[in-house]
Structure 1
């Protein structure tokens, strides 16, 4: 795991691939819990019987569930131990190029896309590719933006 202690270390890593997380199986219980938390109970996610005859041959994870797993998966790739608070600021260019079938395993690969100085600190942009094991196309590609407030 890569640990960043200073903003200068982050700046030197722009364009660098930081590595990949461990694999995580996305099971039906996780998908159902996400459906309950968000109120999104569309059959393609939660009705295994109906989804079996649907376009993907079974249930698929919500795209936003996949996106929401990025921080959890990313903590196995890098850590920001810089002084000051770290705040989620936003997400850029999110795409879900491949459905994530329930029961498949995913991992995230992270790279540093950019760092911008702001009056309150720095804005860090990270690129995430959520891969599906044994599939050519990823489940999600997204840039996250983190505010690194001056310490």
Structure 2
């Protein structure tokens, strides 16, 4: 078997190790850029949903507050038929404070479940890519 101009025989049929490392490095760089774009897109989507949801919750809070004021006034007037006005107002205030405490605890629990705000799909995808790269490197 003869080689031309002193080149090793593998250069004719296959790429050199340096070329393979170069291609692998380029592919890994491209993969990481794609994963970063995926994470950015995922966080943008979550941010938009969070903003929309926050605006709707704010509007609901304002309307709910006005309705609550009307309900409180109605409850105090209704209880005034049975008790003195000051006692009716005190009972309604105590009930509202208990409700506020309950809502605060439930809200805190929900906020705890929503954090941390991480791009979970992108992280999972990166871990799968790293595992695949390690597996192929072993072969």
Per residue, is there more strand in 1 or in 2?
1
Question: Shorter-chain TM-score: which interval?
Answer: under 0.3
Larger-gyration structure (1/2): 2
Greater helix share, 1 or 2? Answer: 2
Higher relative contact order (Cα pairs below 8 Å, separated by 6+ residues): 2
TM-score for both structures, normalised by structure 1? 0.21
Normalised by the length of structure 2, the TM-score is: 0.22
